[in-house]
Structure formats: C-alpha cells, structure tokens
Amino acid sequence: MINSTALAAAIADQWDADIVGQLVDYVRIPAQSPHFDPQWEANGHIERAIRLAEAWVRVQPVHGLEVEIVRLPGRTPLLYFAVPATGDDAAARTVLLYGHLDKQPEMTGWREGLGAWDPVLEDGKLYGRGGADDGYAVFASLAAIAALQAQGIAHARCVGMIETCEESGSYDLPAYLEALAPRIGAVDFVVGLDSGCGDYERLWATTSLRGLAAGTLTVEVLTEGVHSGDASGIVPSSFRIARQLIERLEDTATGQILPGEFHVPIPDERQAQAASAAAILGDLLVRKYPFAGSTQPMVADPAQALLNRTWRPALSVTGADGLPPIAAAGNVLRPKTSLKLSLRLPPTLDGGGATEALRRLFEADPPADANVAFTPDQGATGWNAPATAHWLAQALEESSQTFYGKPVAAMGEGGTIPFMAMLGRRFPDAQFLITGVLGPRSNAHGPNEFLHIAYATKLTACVAHILAAHAARGAAAGSTAKPGARQMA
C-alpha cells in the first residue's frame, strides 16, 4: 500500500531541489516548433531542449530505465524512454506517457520583468514559455515512477514519447509511432500531461479536445501598391474582400460559425459534464480572461461558455501580412492582404475534411474576381474520450481527494493535441488520463505564461497514485467494452 504522505513529500522534494531548476534552464531555450522556426535544425534550439531532457532522464533512480533520442531522416527528434514492469501482475500491461518539448513563439505583451525566454520564479509560479506547455511532462512522468519504486509499489511497463513537433500539429509523430510500434507494444493506458485544469484546487480529467483547421487566407488585387487617393474607389480593397470571405464562415455580430458542416451534435453526457464543471467553477470560466476595459464575453452563462470553447467551432485571426506598422503606413492602396486563420473544430469532426471544406469555401467565386488562395498548414482531428473504466474513475477520485483534498472534476478542453486522436485510433481499447497544469491565467501560447508549481507537484503525485492503481487492477478490467465503464461526469 502506498504511503501517500511519504510519496507526496518525496515528490515535493524532487520538484523543489531538482525539477524546478531543470525547467528554469529549459525555459531559457527558444525551442520554437518547426512551423515558427523553419531553420530549427540549423539553429539547434530543439536539439538543446531534447538533450537537456535526455541528460536528466539518464540520471534518474528508476530501475531498468532506458532512454534514447530517436531520429528519423528529415524529422524532428523524439525522446523515447522505457521502464520495465515491477510486479508480476502488471507485466502484461503497458502505459504510454506523452509530452512535448517544442514551444510557441514569444508573443508580445509580456509585463515588465518577464519574457518568453527569461524564466522568473514569483509567488510559486515559473514564468516563461514552455514550462507548463509542456516541458514539465517528462520530469513529472519519471518523478512519479521513481516515487513508486522507492516505496516498492508495483507499476506496469512504462514507455514515454516526448516529441518536438506538437505545436506544429505533430506531423512527425505518425512516423515515430510506426517506427517504434514493435518497441512500444500493446498500450492499455495512456497518460498525457499536455492539457488544462479548471482551477488549481483539484485533479481535472480532460474528456475531449477540439480539432483544428488552420491556414493562411491571401487576397491579391494588384501586382504592386498604388497611391490610395488615385486608386481608391476603383481598385477594390484586399482587406474588404478578405472581410467578405470571412463573413462566409463567421457571423460578424455573434461570432457563430455559419456553415453546418463545421458543427456536430453535442453528446448528452458532454452537456451534462459541462453543467457539472460550470457549477464548480461558476463565473471563473469567463472572468479568468484578462478582458480590456468593459469588454463583454460572447456568452455569460458558464455552462454555455464551456460548451463554446470545447464543442462548438470558433474562429481566431492570429496573424497578418501585408499590413505595414502604423508608423510606416503611407497613403497606399496595398496590393494584398494575408490573414492567418485558426478555426477550432468540434472534437469528433474530421480535421482534414474540415480544412479542405474551408479552402473550398474561401476560394469559390471570389469577389471582384480577385486572386484568392487559402493555404492550409494544419488539419488536426480532435478527440473524445472513451467511457471511463471503473478502476480509473475510482483512482482519479482517490488521488484527487488524497493530494488536493477535493473531488476530481472533468471537462473538455478547447485546445488540440493531435497525438490523442492518433492514439485513439491505434489503441481503441486503451484508457486515457489526459490532464495538465494550464489553469486560470496560465496563458499558454500568450504573454505571461506560467507553471503553477504547487499544482504540478500534486499532479505528479496523482500520476504516481494512478499508475499504481493501473498495475493493481484485475487482469480483465480496464477495457471500455467491459461492464462498469462509464463516462466521467
């Protein structure tokens, strides 16, 4: 039986004495994902990040641990580790632990004294890019396993895949899954630590993730810029045409996505789950965002707000080209406008099909016969969790009560982890613990991103507890097809 007090203390000690320092060094590395750093291989930042993690893994006190940086030609590297099972009953089962080391770009707007690559420890938080999304995952995974072994608690065989392409849609990952399949084996439990939490007071299980259709919409009306006084009123504005095209997709008054092909029916159990999570979090679901001035949210009802960000499609314009800075903007009718679009998709909608539908929507019958092109760069399918096996539901509740002192909670998340859909197809009978540390104001991808250290420390203890429960369950338990499986609510 686990000594939970000793387990929590040992993990807290490792976080304080070791892991936080490793993450400080990791934050300093501008290991931007390949979409944002096309010269990633020459620049060497991803290499520095993965070697930092590899060096740390190699010295962990985990019996039988093997680690390797796996490299496939022309692809970002992947950190793979394997730990043999302890305990005869657990030897036939395999746990896959997932994380990533690549990062989003700096983004503007960091408050004074903070920066993407300048780690700062303040009020129990580590500020900087990547610590929470998702550099901590490899450290938490091995710390959890080591804590179990220190107490002689059995765990199943564990393998880890820590990729460096997630923020670009994990396009290298299928090749690694295929290449490593014989070494990975048959996985019956997946632990992914790249998700979020509704608050910092309990364990949160993620039960769905949205998909993504992303790309660049370009409207070209001239071969070069011309004097706006001479041409306006005759030459159509590329920006106005881009607005017209976006209005085919989005209602400008409400933000609702108009074409039905980008919607799916929301399952009853997910609607009930959103209502339960909203009852816990209340208006925190809305007020956690740093609204400017008197800006109002698109919807005030917490349950509907949660469904909006987890099961309904939504559009963001995340970048633009062809628009000079205001200080350099002359009286010129610009030749073209390019907008980077990010359309979040319902979890069960096919990402590739939605991306192609988006291209057709924009490129058909262009206004004024302008040159219009939509160039996709990501089409990722979301994920909807299978029914939760009884052993896992019980372990989630017990670990949350033990280490946070409150019941477990569950909800969908609005982000995309392409790996989950890949694993769901490859291991259809596996159980999933998808969770993470991205809670209120943690601001992944944006300015002032932080890792809540106390929350991450307790989450590590929860992972250890759940790995022990996975190893201890009956040999026939755990399949979603077996009696006792249920949806998390």
Share of the chain above pLDDT 70, in %: 96
243-290 tens-digit pLDDT = 999 999 999 999 999 999 999 999 999 999 999 999 999 999 999 999
Q: Are residues 255 and 327 in the same domain?
A: yes
Q: Are residues 11 and 148 in the same domain?
A: yes
What would the mean pLDDT of 452-474 be, rounded to a whole number? 95
Q: Are residues 193 and 97 in the same domain?
A: yes
Task: Among 335, 363, 378, give the residue marking a domain's end.
Answer: 378
User: pLDDT category, 90, cuts 50, 70, 90?
Assistant: low
Is the pLDDT assigned to residue 433 strictly greater than 50? yes
Asked whether the bond before 172 is cis by omega within 30 degrees of 0, the reply is no
Is residue 269 in a domain?
no
Is the pLDDT assigned to residue 451 strictly greater than 50? yes
Check: CB of residue 96 under 8 Å from CB of residue 181.
Answer: no
Share of the chain above pLDDT 90, in %: 90
What would the mean pLDDT of 209-227 be, rounded to a whole number? 97
Q: Which amino acid is at 134?
A: D
pLDDT value of position 89: 66
- The kind and range of the H/E element at 421 are helix 418-426
User: pLDDT category, 424, cuts 50, 70, 90?
Assistant: confident
Domain of 401 in residue numbering reads as: 4-209+382-472
Question: Which SS3 state, helix, strand or coil, does residue 100 take?
Answer: strand
Buried-exposed string 79-99: b where 16+ CB fall within 10 A, e elsewhere? bbbbbebbeeebeebbbbbbb
Is residue 293 in a domain?
no
Is the pLDDT assigned to residue 489 strictly greater than 50? no
Residue 251 neighbours by CB distance under 10 Å: 10
Sorted by sequence, the CB contacts under 8 Å of residue 391 that are 6+ apart come out as 469, 470, 473, 474, 477, 478
2-22 tens-digit pLDDT = 999 999 999 999 999 999 999
Q: Are residues 197 and 169 in the same domain?
A: yes
pLDDT value of position 205: 97
Structural domain count of the chain: 2
168-201 tens-digit pLDDT = 989 999 999 999 999 999 999 999 999 999 999 9
> Mean pLDDT over all residues of the chain?
94
User: pLDDT category, 479, cuts 50, 70, 90?
Assistant: very low
DSSP 133: I
pLDDT value of position 474: 52
Is residue 275 in a domain?
no
pLDDT value of position 312: 98
Is the pLDDT assigned to residue 480 strictly greater than 80? no
Is residue 137 in a domain?
yes
Task: Among 378, 413, 428, give the residue marking a domain's end.
Answer: 378
Q: Are residues 374 and 417 in the same domain?
A: no
Q: Are residues 393 and 350 in the same domain?
A: no
pLDDT value of position 234: 98
What would the mean pLDDT of 61-82 be, rounded to a whole number? 98
What CATH number does residue 336 fall under?
3.30.70.360
Is residue 250 in a domain?
yes
User: pLDDT category, 485, cuts 50, 70, 90?
Assistant: very low
pLDDT value of position 91: 65
pTM exceeding the 0.75 threshold for the entire prediction: yes
Is the pLDDT assigned to residue 481 strictly greater than 80? no
pLDDT value of position 475: 40
Is the pLDDT assigned to residue 95 strictly greater than 90? yes
Q: Are residues 238 and 186 in the same domain?
A: no
Is the pLDDT assigned to residue 64 strictly greater than 90? yes
- The kind and range of the H/E element at 226 are strand 226-227
98-108 tens-digit pLDDT = 999 999 999 99
Is the pLDDT assigned to residue 488 strictly greater than 60? no
309-325 tens-digit pLDDT = 999 999 999 999 999 99
Is residue 274 in a domain?
no
Q: Are residues 18 and 30 in the same domain?
A: yes
What CATH number does residue 10 fall under?
3.40.630.10
Q: Are residues 182 and 44 in the same domain?
A: yes
Beta pairing, strands 94-100 & 189-196: parallel
Distance from the Cα of residue 142 to its chain's centroid = 20
Q: Are residues 448 and 351 in the same domain?
A: no
Is residue 294 in a domain?
no
Q: Are residues 219 and 173 in the same domain?
A: no
Is the pLDDT assigned to residue 330 strictly greater than 70? yes
Is residue 273 in a domain?
no
Q: Are residues 392 and 458 in the same domain?
A: yes
Q: What radius of gyration do the chain's Cα atoms show?
A: 23
331-383 tens-digit pLDDT = 999 999 999 999 999 999 999 999 999 999 999 999 999 999 999 998 999 99
Residue 273 neighbours by CB distance under 10 Å: 24
pLDDT value of position 482: 38
User: pLDDT category, 418, cuts 50, 70, 90?
Assistant: confident
Report the alpha-carbon distance of residue 161 to residue 209 in Å, rounded: 19
Report the alpha-carbon distance of residue 37 to residue 51 in Å, rounded: 18
Q: Which amino acid is at 433?
A: L
